[in-house]
Amino acid sequence: MAADLIRTLLRRPAGMISAVLLFFLYGAALLAPFLSPTIPSAQDLKRTYHPPTGLVWQKGKLCVRLYKLVDPSTATYEPLPGQSAPLQWFSKGASYKLLGMIPSDRHLFTVATPACIYLLGSDATGRDVFTRLLYGSGISLGIGLVGVALTSILGLTIGGLAGYLGGWTDSLAMRLTEFLMAVPGLYLLLALRAALSSRLPSDATFLMIVVILSALGWAGTARVVRGLVLSLRERPFILAANILGQRPWTILFRHLLPNTFSYLIVAATLSVPGYILGEAALSFLGLGIQEPASSWGLMLGQAQDIKIFMLNFWWLLTPGVAIILTVIAFNLLGDALRDAVDPRFRLPGK
Amino acid sequence: MTAFIFRRLAALLPMLLAVTLLVFALMSLAPGDFLTPVKAQRDINPALIAELQKSFGLDRPWYEQYVRWLGNVLHLDFGYSWTYKVPVAQLIAQRAPATILLSLTSLLLAWALAIPLAVLAAARPGGWIDRLTSAAAYFALAIPEFFLALLAVWMAARTGWFPIGGLSSLDHDFLSPFGQFLDIAHHLVLPTLVLGLGGVAGTLRVLRANVLDVLRAEYVTAARAKGLPERVILFRHVLRNALNPLLSTVGYAFAGLLSGSLLVENVMNYPGLGRLVYEAFIREDQFVVLGSVVVGCTLLIVGNLISDLALAWSDPRVRYGR
């Protein structure tokens, strides 16, 4: 069934485009340490607010142009005419752990030390924006997936139980969802963020943001799953399972909930952007991912620096463009999935 | 109808209680309080800090503080802001109009742009207007508001066509009434565009689907058979019915704008509720937070109520009673 689904999906142009785009985005996020020429915390205080370095083809090699700092106070750099340094492919550089476990020190490309390569320029402390963007994508994209997985599990369990058991479980769960949906989300977000301590290591911050966003986001899923379970409960095959004497838990988890999966897949895909945007908003306000780690929201927040504003606008654009691309890709994929999965499930609202 | 309004407003009370309790409990769980930065300064007498703590009520357990606050609210006293040293009610009364004004202009922009575009798009599904607006809406919905706000501020700073932030110029008080109006309008342009764009896209998508639905109705065929011009059919007969479902979402749209304006206000330096709440949260100025939460939730519920009433007014089939 899964293979069928993927085939129908890829036959649609929207599905194909979004799948390819997401494949590249997540691939880049996974291989970030290898693809980036340096590590995100590497500073160079002599090259702050560096403009993007130009690439030229010289002596049969791809080379990076060299720059000279003309005026440190306005961060004006001028390219040195005719001078360049060749890129080194698969060269040794700063050591890292790929996927968090494979130690390595190979980078796709670097340049020899006096030269530097800033594909997207450098920030206030001379760190490479391109590297930080790649590393940040791991966090921003990861939060989307983990958050949606957590929300789906929460929504499925709570909605399924509420619909199947009925009675006071149902009313309690539904009042809770109504409450969550009626309160302005950002207020609760800020309150939850205040409650969970701000001095946490970056892994814990990541988890905390996911937990906060999921705790606020499961209500919609739970309500729809409950509705689906309520209607499925009356179908003949559930009656048959009842007559066969299957236990309630078996019926719920083996027969009822799997029938909500096709809705759940679509809803989950369409809600990934919400998590990515949520993380970006939190980090943007300085309440999410903290330095020295990087995320797209954090980078955009740092772009509010007036110097970057006037000098190095690239740095501002790239994480925003990355967010927009990702959100569009997930929305396209979700719409294509909805058409492919089952036309019976029409999502409420959209 | 009156009973319905009363019932809805009565539902506000338990919700406000629950939200304020939750927010207050969460804030108290946070390490440190409003006086933490004061305590960190070495040259302040511990006796003074103890005295301040006592006068702020911070030496009591959090539930006692909450009950005290609740007791004061019964006398319509929302406490006072420790940061600004003014009553919370006064502070919010200063800031809320700016946010409401911004939300209203954004909503207005969203409707003014989305309604004609949606009708034109749905009149010829698959035509160039339809495809163009659909693609634009898709794109607009994917742009984070704070990113758009950053771009707007950058544009303003580069070109100087619009003020970079705020709601009024320095010389606002010396302008003629008409000049003051123009001044505020000039300041409102960018925040409205930023906050309204998402609304335009969302409204456009919903309304287009509604118009397409209504176009299939028999009375549209009847109107065409009568020989009415297409323009009259679309804007007089179809649009009126297609707007109904939209009316019921105004309340939510308003609530979304309130949340969205928190980020936009912070980026664009706009003196509204959003920035007030954010700063109060950061400084743990707890009564300001509680007061803003009360105002925010009330606006949301009243917004939903008004949109329900508007729906009943526009569609005679909708009756609230029972």
3-class DSSP assignment, residue B275: helix
- A191 touches B: beta carbon within 8 Å: yes
- Torsion on CA atoms B76, B79, B85, B88, rounded to nearest 10: -60
- A183 touches B: beta carbon within 8 Å: yes
Burial of B147 (0-12, 13-18, 19+ CB in 10 A): buried
- Torsion on CA atoms A192, A194, A199, A203, rounded to nearest 10: 20
* Residue that is written with structure tokens 């109705």 in the block: B217
DSSP-assigned beta bridge partners for residue A76: A71
The shortest CB-CB distance from A187 to any of B144, B151, B293 is to B293
Q: What angle do CA A258, A259, A260 make, to 5 degrees?
A: 90
Helix, strand, coil percentages for chain B (3-state, nearest 5): 80, 0, 20
Sheet holding A102-111, edge to edge: A55-58, A61-71, A76-98, A102-111
Q: What angle do CA A324, A329, B143 make, to 5 degrees?
A: 20
Task: Give one word for A82, left, alpha or beta, with left for phi > 0 and alpha for psi -120 to 50.
Answer: left
Query: Are the Cβ atoms of A183 and B138 closer than 8 angstroms?
Result: no
Residue type, A69: L
DSSP-assigned beta bridge partners for residue B202: none
- A328 touches B: beta carbon within 8 Å: yes
Q: How many residues can be counted in chain A?
A: 350
Under DSSP, the state recorded for A305 is: S
Using omega within 30 degrees of 0 as the cis cutoff, is the peptide bond preceding A292 cis? yes
Query: Are the Cβ atoms of B263 and A303 closer than 8 angstroms?
Result: no
- B142 touches A: beta carbon within 8 Å: yes
Residue type, A231: S
pLDDT in tens, chain A (350 residues): 567 777 777 777 878 888 888 899 998 888 888 888 777 777 777 777 777 777 777 777 777 777 777 777 777 777 777 777 777 777 777 777 777 677 777 777 777 777 777 878 777 777 888 888 888 888 888 888 899 999 999 998 898 888 888 888 888 888 888 878 777 677 777 777 777 665 666 677 778 888 888 888 888 888 888 888 888 888 888 888 888 888 888 888 888 888 888 788 888 888 888 888 888 888 888 777 777 788 888 888 887 776 666 666 666 678 888 999 999 899 888 888 877 776 554 443 33
Per-residue 3-state assignment (H helix, E strand, C coil) for A153-192: HHHHHHHHHHHHHCHHHHHHHHHHHHHHHHCCHHHHHHHH
Q: How many residues can be counted in chain B?
A: 322
Longest dimension (CA), chain B: 87
Interface predicted TM-score (ipTM) of this complex, two decimals: 0.79
pLDDT in tens, chain B (322 residues): 777 778 777 777 887 888 888 888 877 777 667 777 777 777 777 777 777 777 777 777 777 788 888 887 787 777 777 777 788 888 888 888 888 888 888 888 988 998 888 888 888 888 888 889 888 888 888 888 888 888 888 888 777 787 777 777 777 777 778 878 888 888 888 888 888 888 888 888 888 888 888 888 888 889 889 888 888 888 888 888 888 777 777 776 776 666 667 888 888 888 888 888 888 888 778 788 888 888 877 877 777 778 778 777 777 776 665 4
All residues of chain A having their beta carbon less than 8 Å from the beta carbon of residue B286 are none
The shortest CB-CB distance from A179 to any of B18, B151, B258 is to B18
Pairing of strands A55-58, A61-71: antiparallel
Q: How far apart are CA B55 and CA B49, in angstroms?
A: 10
All residues of chain A having their beta carbon less than 8 Å from the beta carbon of residue B300 are 182-184
The shortest CB-CB distance from A285 to any of B27, B259, B278 is to B278
